[in-house]
Each structure stands twice: as structure tokens, then as C-alpha cells.
Structure 1
Amino acid sequence: MSILKELQQIIDPEHILIDEALKKHTYTQLGGRADFFVTPSTVEEVQEIIRFANKSAIPFTLLGNGSNVIIRDGGIRGIVLSLKKFKGIRRDGEKVVAESGARIIDTSRFALEERLSGLEFACGIPGSVGGALYMNAGAYGGEVKDCLESALVVDAGGEVHRMPAEAFDLDYRTSNIAAKGYIVLEATFHLTEGDYDEIKAVMDDLTYMRESKQPLEYPSCGSVFKRPPGYFAGKLIQDSHLQGKGVGGAEVSTKHAGFIVNKNNATATEYISVIEMVQREVKAKFDVELEREVRILGED
């Protein structure tokens, strides 16, 4: 039986896209095509897709909402799984439970409406909840590990587990989620009761700082590099006089040196070339290795 027919036995055929352009699913608006782009709507469907891919030795890639990823121009072979239908958010006492495909921004806003404090830092992070756990997303002094209590995951064998936050080895922009082969289904955040106006004031301040400093007018993957010990990546790039420099339609932002923008229909190859140029120049000038925060997937 063909891959398509097998997938149609698992999920609604309307939720299977063939030869789907992945640039439609990334914030950079870059990338080639997926052989099969599937959007399950139940945990059982996710489990069955994983088991089918394992049994048939079909390449399998999880894609969040595409905010912190670059997909190469050759696209991704096999099955690309999107959990964008998993976007529920609910309150449980002083906890907020958010499904993997929900935006972490929306989770932060939900907490505000429920007068719960602890997720204010996430009010400007564009990624999904699953992606936020994957990279221990953070901003303005806060990060996911500060308030994550537990997460529901599917393992590489298709089994579901509820795991405490400590199990994910959350550290600066990293976790063990990829190494363990986990797929996050939902996250539980332990927050505290707070005052609506005070929570909103903090979020308003952070939103203003984000909108005034970041080049939100162009497609980008957000902050490209991790903060090197003892330095700030953006300052190193700025002092290397790289702002405005680029390759093809991609360039280092003139508004925030830590961002690379798709200014004029760039290709993924051009975007990645700018990343590599920045790494070379900063290394040559300051002898500092810039490590990518953004993930690169797919083939040339």
C-alpha cells in the first residue's frame, strides 16, 4: 500500500497535503516542499502516524509554527507533522494548560485574562507552546523553565507520558526533547494569582520594547544566535559593521543586528549564507563563535 493510502487510513484525507510548499508554514517564508504534510487532530492519530513512520522507515519531521526554523530550498522528504490543530488553552486552578500548537503569546494573554502571573515574558515570543519547550524559549529575563510544571509527550515509539519539567533538562535555549525523540502534546504552567492591571502593565512594556527594537515589518526567524558567554550577539554583529549587508534578498537587519530578514524574496540558501557570513566576520574580528539558535531543516 502507498504512503498516501496508509496515511488516509489514519487521518482524514483532507488533513493530508501532498508536495506542500513549506514556505507557507514558516515565519521566514523560506523553504522547499514536503512530500506529505499532515495535520492530525487527536493524540491517537499522532501515535498512529509515528508508529506507521517507524514501521515503514519513512523519514519523519515535526514542524511547529515555523517561527524559529529555516527549511532548506530542497524541502523535507517523507512525512512532516504539524500540530497546529492542537491549540486549546485552559485553566486548572493556578495552572494554565496549553496544547502544543497554541501560540505561547496567546497562552500569555490567556493567563493575563485569568489574572495569573508568570508568563508575562512570553507576550512577544511568536513560537508555539511545543516549540517554546523545545528550546526553553525566553525573553526579558524570563524563560519557560521558570514556570513549567510538566508536559504530556509522545515518545519515539508512539507511547504517551506525563513528565515533570525536570525531565527535559531545560537550559539556555535548549532541552533534551529532540535527543529523546519526544513530541510535546501539551504543557502545564504553574503560575500565581496576580493583579490584572499590574500584569498588563508589564506585558505592555515588553510589547513596546519588542515592537520598537525588532524588525517586525519583514519575515525573519527572530533572534538568530544564542547569547555568547560574556557578550551580546547583536552588539558583536553591530560592531562588525554587518547591518544592511546580505546575500540576495536576505540581509542583517538595520534595526536589530541580531535579526536576519527576508527583505526581498530571499531563498533559504541566501538566508543561510548570511548566517554563515555573520559567523565568519564575528569570529575574525572578536574571536567569538556565534552559535545558532534557529534550527535548519531539510535538504538543498
Structure 2
Amino acid sequence: MNYFDNKIPADKIKYNEPLRNHTFIRLGGLADILIHPTTNEEVTTVVRTAREHNLPLTILGKGSNTIIRDGGIRGVTISLSNFNEIRVEGNEIVSQSGADIIDVSRRALDYSLTGLEFACGIPGSVGGALYMNAGAYGGQISDVIKSAQVLTREGELLTITGEEMQLGYRKSIFRSDQYIILDAAFQLEAGNKDQIAEKMKELTHARESKQPLEYPSCGSVFKRPVGHFAGKLIQDCELQGTRIGGAEVSMKHAGFIVNVDNATAQDYLDLIEHIQRTVREKFNVELETEVITLGE
């Protein structure tokens, strides 16, 4: 049954779509229905229609820090990857949630605005960055976020402040999945364009020299345990190079698992479990995943 006919343009709807085409890690089963809205009105229509017909609803951004299981996703999946407008208003940047956070940092550079340099190498969307309170090199989203426009699962539009987002280390109010992030407003400061550019150049070099960007991956897999570094623990367990199926613990950075040979989601999940068990047995430290797992 085509629930969205005459509600959403047909070219924005895909049926039985392989989700490996929509994640950085290049794996995942089929989405029953995948919709790429580009306006708030279209997102609202999808949410309300799904609710009306009791269809499961899943939100997917750029798929950068996400593992989608091999069984795929039932019901309706909204991909916000085309929801990517960015505008500058004085010292604020307002971005739709599907825009790359890297592109927002570059727009800040264009306008000589400082505060988002840390995000110049973070893969994924603005929505994902808020969801995770993404951070790198001493900066994090909570430092610069002012507000966000969100949609509730009932289809109600709200604006919430940075304080109301309850942002902490890799956590936010958005992890309860009660809100769909539509856009975000970042409060920045006027700065020196050359200095901003130099800082971004340094951070980009640091990322490229330390991270395994030559392979598909879901980024940093584990949160930083209190008093430890996940990558160091994994390295000290001599797990680098360990492979299950097509998934391998990166030789370049032990905190990353890379897709070296057509890995399945189950390969990834099995390798994650093996790493967690090994670190627990050797160091009595529990590694908590940072990556989000969706589907069945």
C-alpha cells in the first residue's frame, strides 16, 4: 500500500532500498520505505502519515556513526541527507539538520566566524552532531549550539534551547528519540579568517594522519571510558588487525573498525562484542559503544 502517494513527490520515495547505499560504513539491509524530504512540511507529512497508519518510523541522517543490521528497517525511514540548507545571520549560522557539519564549519570560515573549527573533520550531519554532542580536539557542539527547531513524534513543531538539550559527553535529550531535529542555530564569534583557516588546516592534518580514512567505517566505535582511552586499551590487547568476516580493527587507529572486504553488519557486531569481552577480561573495563545500531 502506497501511503505517501499524492503527499510526497514520487522521486523522493524509494521502496526496498538497500541501506548500504546510505551509510558511511557501506552495509545494511533493505528499508521498506525510504523517503528523502527537503522541507519541514514534507517531514511533518511523513511523520503524521506514519502515525496515522501505525507505521514504525526511523530517522537517518548521513549514516556516519551508524550500523544498520542486515535485516534492514521496517516501516518508514526518513533520510535527512538532502535536508541541507545553510544560512548565515550575523554571528549565527542556521543549518538544516541534514547538512554536513563539516560544511557548516567551512561556511563559518567563509564569514570569518570562529568557534566551529573543531568540527572541520567530523563526518556526518548537523542532526547527528547534536544527537551525539559530537566533539573533537577540545571542542564540542554544546560549546556553540544556541537552539534547534524540532518535530515531535506527534507532528508538533517546537524550538528548544541549548540548555534544554541536556548535552553531555556523547549524550543529549535527542537520544530518547522523542524529537526529530529539523535545524540548528550555532552562536559563533567574529574572528580572524587566516587564523581560523590555519587552525582548520592543522586539525584536518591531524585527522588524516591518525584515522583510517582509506576504508569505509562508522567512525570511533567506543566512548572514552573514565580514566582510559578506548583505542589504547584495544591496542594493549593486541587486537589491531583482528578480523571477523570483512570487518577489521584498524591498524592505523585501534578505536576504528573498518570495512575491508564487504563486511556485514553481523561481522561488525560480532567484532565489537569480541573487543568488549577481551578488554573486560584483561583490564576489567567496560567499553560502551558510541556507534548507533538500527534495524533488525
- TM-score bucket of the superposed structures, by smaller chain: over 0.9
Residue matched to 2:234: 237
Q: Distance in 2 between matches of 1:73 and 1:284?
A: 29
- The one-letter amino acid of 1:95's match is E
Residue matched to 1:207: 204
- The one-letter amino acid of 1:249's match is G
Is 1:182 the counterpart of 2:185? The answer is: no
Q: Distance in 2 between matches of 1:163 and 1:228?
A: 30
The CA deviation string for residues 213-233 of structure 1, in whole angstroms up to 9 with x for no partner, is 000000000000000000000
- The one-letter amino acid of 1:27's match is F
Q: Distance in 2 between matches of 1:74 and 1:9?
A: 29
- Greater CA drift, 233-242 or 158-167: 158-167
Residue matched to 2:156: 159
Q: TM-score, normalised by structure 2?
A: 0.99
- The one-letter amino acid of 1:238's match is Q
- Greater CA drift, 79-88 or 289-298: 79-88
Which sections of structure 1, spanning at least 5 residues, go unmatched? none
Q: Distance in 2 between matches of 1:23 and 1:180?
A: 22
- The one-letter amino acid of 1:23's match is R
- Report how far residue 14 of structure 1 moved: 1.1
Which sections of structure 2, spanning at least 5 residues, go unmatched? none
Q: Distance in 2 between matches of 1:59 and 1:214?
A: 36
- Report how far residue 204 of structure 1 moved: 0.5
Is 1:114 the counterpart of 2:123? The answer is: no
Q: TM-score, normalised by structure 1?
A: 0.97
Percent of pairs identical after alignment? 56
- Report how far residue 180 of structure 1 moved: 5.2
Is 1:137 the counterpart of 2:131? The answer is: no
Q: Distance in 1 between matches of 2:268 and 2:177?
A: 29
- Report how far residue 178 of structure 1 moved: 3.1
- The one-letter amino acid of 2:40's match is V
Secondary structure of the structure 2 residue equivalent to 1:198:
helix
Is 1:223 the counterpart of 2:226? The answer is: no
- Report how far residue 46 of structure 1 moved: 0.8
Residue matched to 2:100: 103
Q: Distance in 1 between matches of 2:184 and 2:87?
A: 11
Q: Distance in 1 between matches of 2:177 and 2:132?
A: 14
Residue matched to 2:261: 264
1:88 to 85, 89, 104: 85
Secondary structure of the structure 2 residue equivalent to 1:7:
coil
Q: Distance in 1 between matches of 2:68 and 2:242?
A: 22
Is 1:51 the counterpart of 2:48? The answer is: yes
Residue matched to 1:72: 69
- Root-mean-square deviation (Å): 0.8
Secondary structure of the structure 2 residue equivalent to 1:126:
coil
After superposition, residues 241-260 of structure 1 pair within 5 angstroms as 241-260=238-257
Q: Distance in 2 between matches of 1:51 and 1:264?
A: 40
After the TM superposition, list the runs of 4 or more consecutive aligned residues in structure 1 that deviate by more than 4 angstroms.
none
Secondary structure of the structure 1 residue equivalent to 2:4:
helix
2:25 to 24, 28, 35: 28
